[in-house]
């Protein structure tokens, strides 16, 4: 489950003083404010939501943020309804609550356990609209919202959808200096309703140690961010894996280890994550304020609550291999040659750094 859940707590305060009274509260009458955050990705099969409330007290509000009871509603009835051409399709999903146990304890809010709400569905329709309805505390609060989804993106190279049959060419046969490395280029055909994109690649390998034991590792980096200019009329963006950056990054993130007998390259995975226009706007509004006024704007697309109901899509392309020259560079090049990588390619069977 690939979901990044965030919480926006908004507090209103008023100062009341009268006569010579020395006891006063910084807070006026507390009005419950629902806070909801949920993203739909039709490539997922589990869809999670955070449904909480803002909190207020006379003590340090950072303390209240660490108390689950200050954030939860007692009664939550939430569902998502599928709409096509303005009419319900008959498909709807009632959410169930659950406890996640992996929330970081480094943040402001309580952890590692947090309550979330979710529904399961592996076949959301990317051409449909989805409506969110939430009833809180048996009718005390009503929350509604809607979102379109984002269809899958086309990612192509030389006119064909990229797949592991395309071996990455990141290096020529001989490299004497940084300018000699190659770039592996492809195209991302943007998705309708899209706005912001981030591309990542993951490098995977296995280490064999002197005692014959093995362990698998991976490292990931982002290599391209771009924005879609026209959400309703997608275009094409050029992308590339830069060879110099690739080998330099590996050299900086994998250490020489005398206990390692060899390292075997397992593959490269590419991930493309794209945000809906409303998710992008929500993230932009939440950026830290650097102006003198220090006025934080607000953005929500919900009625009856603050927060967001929107969409994103994450697509993975896994198992890419290096071509012969690029593998040779990994095993013997001046950037990564000291890391102990060996090749399982038959074209390198006569080399000392071959390991079938």
CA 238 to chain CA centroid, Å, is 21
CATH architecture of 154-274+316-348: Sandwich (2.60)
Tens of pLDDT, residue by residue over 276-316, are 999 999 999 877 666 665 566 788 999 999 999 999 999 99
Q: Say yes or no to pLDDT of 24 above 50.
A: no
Angle at 105 between CA 300 and CA 12, to 5 degrees: 40
Please tell me the least confidently modeled range out of 55-69, 132-146, 221-235, 239-253.
Answer: 55-69
- Quickly tell me which residue has 């591309």 as its tokens: 199
Tens of pLDDT, residue by residue over 174-225, are 999 999 999 999 999 999 999 999 999 999 999 999 999 999 999 999 999 9
Domain ranges of the chain: 34-149, 154-274+316-348
Containing 253, the helix (H) or strand (E) segment is: helix 243-253
The sheet that has 87-94: what strands, in order across it? 87-94, 76-84, 129-136, 141-148
Max mean pLDDT range (157-166, 248-257, 297-306): 248-257
Q: What is the mean pLDDT of residues 35-40?
A: 96
Determine the pLDDT at residue 5. 38
Classify domain 34-149 at the CATH superfamily level. Answer: Immunoglobulins (2.60.40.10)
Determine the pLDDT at residue 31. 74
Q: What is the mean pLDDT of residues 238-251?
A: 98
Average pLDDT value over all residues in the chain: 88
pLDDT over 70, % of the chain? 83
Determine the pLDDT at residue 108. 63
Q: What is the mean pLDDT of residues 308-331?
A: 97
Determine the pLDDT at residue 35. 93
Q: If we measure between CA atoms, which residue out of 12, 42, 45, 41 comes closest to residue 27?
A: 12
Assess whether the region 34-149 and the region 154-274+316-348 belong to the same CATH fold: yes
pLDDT over 90, % of the chain? 74
Q: Residue 53: pLDDT band by 50, 70, 90 thresholds?
A: confident
- Per the model's pLDDT, the better-predicted residue between 112 and 240 turns out to be 240
């Amino acid at each position: 489950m690939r979901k990044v859940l965030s919480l926006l707590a908004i507090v209103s305060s008023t100062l009341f003083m009268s006569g010579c009274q020395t006891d006063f509260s910084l807070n006026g009458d507390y009005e419950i404010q629902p806070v909801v955050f949920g993203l739909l990705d039709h490539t997922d099969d589990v869809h999670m939501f955070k449904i909480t409330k803002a909190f207020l007290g006379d003590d340090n509000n950072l303390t209240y943020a660490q108390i689950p009871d200050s954030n939860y509603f007692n009664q939550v009835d939430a569902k998502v309804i599928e709409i096509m051409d303005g009419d319900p399709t008959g498909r709807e999903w009632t959410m169930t609550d659950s406890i996640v146990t992996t929330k970081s304890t480094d943040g402001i809010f309580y952890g590692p356990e947090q309550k979330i709400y979710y529904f399961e569905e592996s076949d959301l329709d990317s051409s449909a609209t989805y409506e969110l309805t939430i009833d809180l505390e048996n009718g005390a609060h009503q929350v509604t919202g809607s979102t379109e989804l984002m269809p899958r993106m086309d990612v192509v190279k030389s006119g064909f959808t990229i797949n592991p049959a395309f071996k990455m060419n990141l290096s020529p046969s001989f490299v004497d200096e940084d300018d000699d490395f190659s770039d592996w280029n492809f195209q991302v055909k943007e998705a309708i309703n899209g706005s912001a994109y981030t591309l990542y690649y993951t490098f995977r390998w296995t280490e064999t140690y002197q005692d014959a034991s093995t362990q698998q590792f991976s490292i990931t980096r982002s290599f391209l961010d771009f924005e879609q200019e026209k959400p309703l009329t997608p275009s094409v963006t050029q992308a590339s894996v830069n060879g110099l950056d690739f080998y330099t990054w590996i050299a900086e993130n994998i250490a020489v280890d005398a206990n390692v007998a060899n390292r075997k390259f397992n593959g490269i995975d590419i991930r493309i994550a794209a945000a809906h226009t409303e998710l992008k706007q929500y993230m932009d509004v939440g950026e830290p304020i650097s102006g003198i006024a220090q006025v934080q704007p607000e953005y929500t697309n919900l009625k009856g609550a603050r927060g967001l109901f929107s969409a994103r899509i994450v697509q993975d392309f896994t198992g890419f291999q290096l071509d012969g020259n690029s593998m040779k560079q990994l095993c013997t090049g001046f950037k990564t040659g000291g890391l102990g990588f060996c090749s399982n390619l038959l074209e390198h069977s006569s080399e000392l750094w071959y390991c079938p």
